[in-house]
Amino acid sequence: MCGPHGLHSAPLAAYELSWPVNSHWLYVEGLFMSQSNSTHTAPAKNIVDTTIEAGNFTTLAAGLKAAGLTDILSKKGPFTVFAPTDEAFKKLPAGAMDALLKDPAKLKGVLTYHVIVGHVSAKDMKTGDVMTMQGSPLTAVVASSDVQVNGARVRRADLVATNGVIHAIDTVIMPKNWQLLAAAA
């Protein structure tokens, strides 16, 4: 053990969020990994390139391309993307992703449901509904130790890109009353 938090000592940061909870201000403590390079540089890649470079969003990157969304998410923005990891896509029913890849319009609907217009970092997230690019709201639930969108947990927050921010989530989310069914065998 190298520090008070385990193997790596990491600084704690407290954020005062801008909404009252039970008539008290909610404080969220975040544990951030310390990095060997203490200087902060501006992001150099857009959302699409950042997802590709991260290495754990290959299914999402392929879906963005198949749905014709790479041009949109490469533009100025800003955008906030709740990005399902490759592991999240593996949780889909067998054949569901293949069926989506064959239906670009439905794939675009599913993927744009993971995107909101604007830059919303983890410290700025609030509990409540927010409209997605797809046109249906998703529901965020923010607690002191957890952030969820439609039940999917944010596993890694604030991957900053030149045109927005990415939050890695552990489940592919769907608008209410949407279902993904595997193609009939």
Q: How confident is residue 165, by pLDDT bands cut at 50, 70 and 90?
A: very high
pLDDT tens for each residue of 96-121: 888 888 999 999 999 999 999 999 99
H runs (alpha helix) in 86-126: 86-90, 96-101, 104-112
Give the DSSP letter string of 42-88: ---S-HHHHHHHHSS-HHHHHHHHHTT-HHHHHSS--EEEEEE-HHH
Q: How confident is residue 176, by pLDDT bands cut at 50, 70 and 90?
A: confident
**The pTM is what?**
0.75
pLDDT tens for each residue of 44-77: 899 999 999 999 999 999 999 999 999 999 998 8
- Percentages helix, strand, coil for the chain (3-state, rounded to 5) are 25, 30, 45
Mean pLDDT estimate for the chain: 79
- The pLDDT of residue 144 is 82
- The pLDDT of residue 40 is 56
